[in-house]
Each structure stands twice: as C-alpha cells, then as structure tokens.
Amino acid sequence: MYAKDDLQQRWWNLEANLTERFGKKPDLEAILFLIGVQEFGDIKEKFTKEQKQDLMHIAVCSLLSPSGYYELEGTDADGWPHFRQLKPMPEMNNFEQENFLKDHILLYFENHSF
C-alpha cells in the first residue's frame, strides 16, 4: 500500500485515463460497474438496476480476493459468479473504506495492464 498522497495522485491518473478513454469522468460507482462487467464477461446493452448492483458486488469481491477477503465459489447457470467471504473486513470509517477500495482498484488496473 502507498502513502495517501501517492494514492490520490495515482487515483487522479486513473480518472484521467478513464476520462480520456470514455469521454466522461467516472465516479467510484461507475468504475466498480466497469470492473464488474469486465469480471462478468458478458457485455449487454442494458442491465437492470439489480444487475448493476450485482455487477458492483462482483467488482468488490473480485477486487478484494487477492487480499484474501473473498474467493470465487463458482458461477450459476446464467454465468454469474458467486463469492464466499473468507474473513471480515477491517473496521474503517467511510474515508478509510473509500481509500481501501481505491487502492485495490488501482492494483486491479495495474494487474490488468490498463
């Protein structure tokens, strides 16, 4: 994990890259949605509100799997991945949770050569 200043700079760089690629600055939820779609692997023109929430859940589980918080159990008949929580999340305030998630998002993009 990096110092907060470095985290913020790396986050701004990611936002700039995504803005350049998609023409619009994404918020944290949009980035989670993108990761969820990537991990789900089935790009559709429209997702229901529930499916969008499921995609963000897939993203969070996928992001936190390398740190040992979740593991993939398998996929259902429709191809949706299901995860099992391995350990509880550490106690954090909202700001700390956001930075924790941002750090894992940055690691995800580094590992996926973005």
Locate the domains of the chain by residue range. Answer: 4-111
pTM above 0.85, yes or no: yes
C-alpha 78/C-alpha 54 separation (Å) is 13
Digit-coded pLDDT (tens) for 49-107 = 999 999 999 999 999 999 999 999 999 998 899 999 999 999 999 999 999 999 999 99
Residue 38 backbone phi and psi in degrees, to 5: -60, -45
- Give 62-65's long-range contacts (Cβ < 8 A, gap of 24+): 62/35, 62/36, 62/108, 63/35, 63/101, 63/104, 63/105, 63/107, 63/108, 64/104
